Amino acid sequence: MSANRPPPPISTMLMRGLFEENPIFRLALSLCPAVAVTTSVKNGLMLGCAVLVVQVLSSMSGSLVKHVINPKIRIPVFTLIIAIWVSAMDMILAAYFADIYQQVGLYVKLIVAFAIIISRMELFSMKHSVVPSFWDGLGMGLGFLVGLVLAGAFRELLGNGSIFGIAVLPFKPLLLVVLPAGGFFTIGLIMALFNWVDVKRGHKLPSGGGGAHG
Amino acid sequence: MTCVSGKVVNQAPPSAREMMVIAAGLAVVCLFAAIILGSLYFVTQPAKEHNLHAREETMIRGLLGLSAQARIQEVRRYLKSEGKELQVIYLTNKKLAQLELDGKEVSAVAVPDDVAATSSAELKDEWVKKQIKVGNPEHLKYAGRFFIGMEGTQPAGYVVEGVTLGFKNWVRFFMAIDSTYTIQGVEIIEHEEDPGLGAEIVQRYFKNQFAGRSLADIEKISVTKDPLPAEWQAALEQLGDMPFRPWAEKYREMLPKNPNIHAITGSTISSVAVTTGIKTALANFRKRMNIVGSYL
């Protein structure tokens, strides 16, 4: 592995996940859960929190074991680390947050295959020590959380006329938005908003390289 | 996505020593994983079981519309198979009855109070295993259960647990019935059907279609692919907000108009699976009640 580079300042690491490299709206990673669960703010918030915890713990553990693990087997080890923390989350939610688990239990197990988590371990934790990995994981996890909550709020408000299950509008403005197809429209619209803000701030548009992953 | 570690390319194959180190590294990680998960399981399992039990109890009370003072009794059923001989064992709150398949009693012992009172299935199973002597522990198996909702000393209704094979995996459900074997409601407890398709079996517009149907209705019921009439759907959505009896009274004339179960669009297999499960569970329960009734 390349020699350790000094980590960027904390604020950069935090903001990068939220804006410049927002997992959903800039990197277009893990779009499948982003579309599937964001039918309400509550669902988005709960899955977002689960992802945040798993991301932080996985990034830190990845950074801890990077000197012990031969780079050739880093992928199975990363997968194993993520699987450990996801199983741990699954057990803790089932035991102490039974109501929430009823709602998101199905999706929590899927976090194992979220592209964003393994990509942060590969791109960041392998090159930096534990503390910067914590901040990077926190930033990315928060970015994912904010993304899910934004999309959830937009869809619940327009599709169902409510926020957090509380009716705020007397009608349902646009039912389509809460249906699966509406999830894609929502993500696309917010993505456009992110790009627009970026252009306003004088950045170039990102080239369309990435593509969606799991 | 670009790969950061271009270094791996053009390397000699690893030596035996290197491979040993890699394997040891993986083993250490797995060992840590096992320790973390094992201890977490140990800590969280009791809480998880408690939640499950509390949820089941709320469900049973809701299905039967029990009052706060009502008590729930559990009846567990076991199968004993030794050689070609098959025996059924029922554990009620009062008796542990060992019976031939035709219902002839082999033995019946009184159940101590602590076993009758406990909510732990594990404790009950252990006690039964001590009472019923089998050569090979594999030959005595738990085979299902049902609950009796007791208002004072009178049974107010029964909740039968059933399983049926869904699209991919087992679907576990509760079926509430009164003493005339009329279904009062169905709840899906556990399933792994596809979200948006088979998972719709948990929705009121599907599961409530069974409510209000008698034993004779269920025996000849079938699944239809006709669209669910809007009026009937609206009525089905009411059950749950409304207790069963007023609901059945209010929509009495709707049931004969909809004699069959309307399948979920795109999920006929899941719909048929639940319907078959309910049919089987009800028929079996009637047969079993004839036998176990005298031990309650």
Q: DSSP states of B79-129 as a string?
A: EEEETTEEEEEEE-SSEEEEEETTS-EEEEEEPPHHHHH---HHHHHHHHH
Contact B45 A87 (CB under 8 A): no
Contact B36 A92 (CB under 8 A): no
pLDDT at position A27 is: 84
Mean pLDDT within B125-145: 89
Question: Is residue B20 situated within a structural domain?
Answer: no
Per the model's pLDDT, the better-predicted residue between A174 and B142 turns out to be: B142
Per the model's pLDDT, the better-predicted residue between B205 and A207 turns out to be: B205
Contact A65 B48 (CB under 8 A): no
pLDDT at position A209 is: 46
Distance CA A209, CA B93 (A): 67
Q: Which domain holds residue B250?
A: 71-295
Q: Is the pTM here over 0.90, yes or no?
A: no
Please tell me the total count of domains within chain B. 1
Mean pLDDT within B147-164: 92
Count of CB atoms within 10 A of residue B144's CB?
A: 17
pLDDT at position B77 is: 94
Nearest chain B residue (CA) to A94: B48
**A173-187, B3-17, B152-166, B192-206: least confident range:** B3-17
| CB-based contacts of B289, cutoff 8 Å, min separation 6 | B158
B82 token code pair: 């030794």
Domain segments of chain A as ranges: 30-200
| CB-based contacts of A20, cutoff 8 Å, min separation 6 | A26, A198
Give the minimum alpha-carbon distance from B263 to chain A in angstroms, rounded to a whole number. Answer: 21
With a pLDDT cut of 90, the percent of chain A lying above it is 28
Per the model's pLDDT, the better-predicted residue between B34 and B121 turns out to be: B34
pLDDT at position B195 is: 65
Q: ∠ CA(A138), CA(A25), CA(A74), 5° rounding?
A: 50
Mean pLDDT within B222-236: 92
> Which position has the token pair 């459900």?
B173
Q: What is the pLDDT of residues A56-110, one digit of tens each?
A: 999 999 998 888 888 888 888 899 999 999 999 999 988 888 877 877 787 888 8
Give the minimum alpha-carbon distance from A98 to chain B in angstroms, rounded to a whole number. Answer: 7
Nearest chain B residue (CA) to A36: B195
Closest Cβ opposite residue B41 in set A69, A72, A91: A91
Q: How confident is the model at residue B45 (pLDDT cuts 50, 70, 90)?
A: confident
Nearest chain B residue (CA) to A75: B26
With a pLDDT cut of 70, the percent of chain A lying above it is 93
Closest Cβ opposite residue A119 in set B1, B37, B47: B1
Mean pLDDT within B43-72: 88
Can you tell me whether residue A107 is helix, strand or coil?
Answer: helix
Which value does ipTM take for this structure? 0.71
Mean pLDDT within B75-97: 90
Closest Cβ opposite residue B26 in set A1, A73, A96: A73
Question: Is residue B26 situated within a structural domain?
Answer: no
Q: How confident is the model at residue A202 (pLDDT cuts 50, 70, 90)?
A: confident
pLDDT at position A82 is: 94
**A166-175, B57-66, B284-293: least confident range:** A166-175
Per the model's pLDDT, the better-predicted residue between A17 and A137 turns out to be: A137
